[in-house]
Amino acid sequence: MKRAIILITVLTLSCMGAALTVDLLQHHTAKSYMADLPVLRQSVLNRDFKLAKEQHGKLEADWEQEVFWLDCLISHDHTREVFAQVGALKTAIEMEWQEEALKALDALDAALEHIETGEFCRWDNFF
């Protein structure tokens, strides 16, 4: 009986620690991308689309690496929204549409904010 209680206690604490770690990683990931957006926004405002294209390429490549484990933790709707806004931003930057690029940056910021304030990991995200 004593072993069962110890096992239950250890497993409970391990699960709580893992959940807290996952949540902190989720918040940190979203914040790191949100921190890159002002630099990209400034490039678009200055109409320096060459620099904006380079910054966007880095952001997109980094996001593609992060999205696999984020899909396991949070709703796929959140990550798909970020992908959609990254695509819209890419189009706007390539076509050098300043207004559309700024709108896409605002939408991308909102999508990342949803991830930052998102839910804990759930079983349905694995399936």
Domain harbouring 117, CATH code: 1.20.120.290
pLDDT tens for each residue of 104-117: 999 999 999 988 88
Residue 89 lies in a domain: yes
pLDDT tens for each residue of 32-87: 889 989 999 999 999 999 999 999 999 999 988 888 888 877 778 888 999 999 99
Overall domain count for the chain = 1
Residue 16 lies in a domain: no
Residue 82 is part of which domain span?
23-125
Residue 58 lies in a domain: yes
Residue 28 lies in a domain: yes
Residue 13 lies in a domain: no
Give the C-alpha distances (Å, rounded to integers) separating 95 from 89, 99, 100, 107, 108.
Answer: 10, 11, 10, 18, 18
